[in-house]
Amino acid sequence: MSTVKRTWILNGKSVAVRFPPGRRLLDVLREDLGLIGSKESCGEGECGACTVIVDNEPVVSCILPAGQLPDGTEILTIEGIEKKRAGRLLQQAYIEAGAVQCGFCIPGMVVSSYALLSKNPKPSVKAIREGLAGNLCRCTGYTKIIAAVKLAASRLPAPKRK
Ligand code: FES
Ligand code: FES
């Protein structure tokens, strides 16, 4: 059987992978590389539980064929994000704001929140809602999640003025 070979920058490190054509990025991450922080819920691109950041954009990895990502693609998963300052601030803020109930959506929420704060460090409530629009939570009603992102943003340094 033919095999796809790729070398990506995964969580800041060069990683070589081989997988069958058509394999989903989520399966490469979870099953081949053991990065089980990204979750699978709907498996249809609807809930955001499997969100990772690819070349600075949040994407749902459950419907993304891994072979579509060329050599050199930069991928950031929740495992890489939680090592970064903004990622740690987000995780702490989610806990403090009481935004974690069953927790299943939370890795994807934190990934999307991180992507949002990377582009907009002081987002409005509207911008947070838009940034997290692709992530579903069946437990919390979103109010505490929005509060968590606000709290994390309040602890990040103000963006530098040019
Ligand atoms: S598991 Fe990927 S979007 Fe729901
Ligand atoms: S905390 Fe349960 S789905 Fe969000």
Check pocket membership of 140 for ligand 2, CB cut-off 6 A.
yes
**Residue 162: pLDDT above 60?**
no
Predicted confidence (pLDDT) per residue in 39-66, tens digit: 999 999 999 999 999 999 999 999 999 9
pLDDT given at position 48: 98
CA quadruple 115, 116, 119, 121: dihedral sign: negative
Pair 78, 69: CB distance under 8 Å: no
97-to-93, 106, 116, 150, 162 alpha-carbon distances in Å: 6, 13, 18, 10, 33
Q: Dump pLDDT digits (tens) for 5-48.
A: 999 999 999 999 999 999 999 999 999 999 999 999 999 999 99
pLDDT at 75 over 70: yes
pLDDT band at 145 (very low <50, low <70, confident <90, very high): very high
Task: Give the whole-number percent of the chain exceeding pLDDT 90.
Answer: 94
Chain segment 109-142, per-residue pLDDT in tens: 999 999 999 999 999 999 999 999 999 999 989 9
Q: Where are the beta strands (DSSP E) in the chain?
A: 4-10, 13-19, 51-54, 57-60, 74-76
Closest CA to 80 of 29, 127, 16: 29
Q: Give the pLDDT band of residue 70 (cuts 50, 70, 90).
A: very high
pLDDT at residue 158, as a whole number: 75
CB atoms near residue 130 (< 10 Å): 13
All domains in the chain, ordered by first residue = 4-77 (3.10.20.30), 81-155 (1.10.150.120)
What is the pLDDT at residue 160?
A: 66
Q: How far is the CA of 108 from the centre of ligand 1 (A)?
A: 9
Residue 140 corresponds to which amino acid?
Answer: T
Distance CA 111, CA 56 (A): 11
Local confidence band at 157 (pLDDT 50, 70, 90 cut-offs): confident
What's the whole-model pTM score? 0.96
Q: Which of 91, 138, 143, 144 to mutate to test the pocket of ligand 2 (most atoms within 8 A of CB)?
A: 138
In angstroms, rounded to a whole number, what is the distance separating the alpha carbons of residues 78 and 41? 16
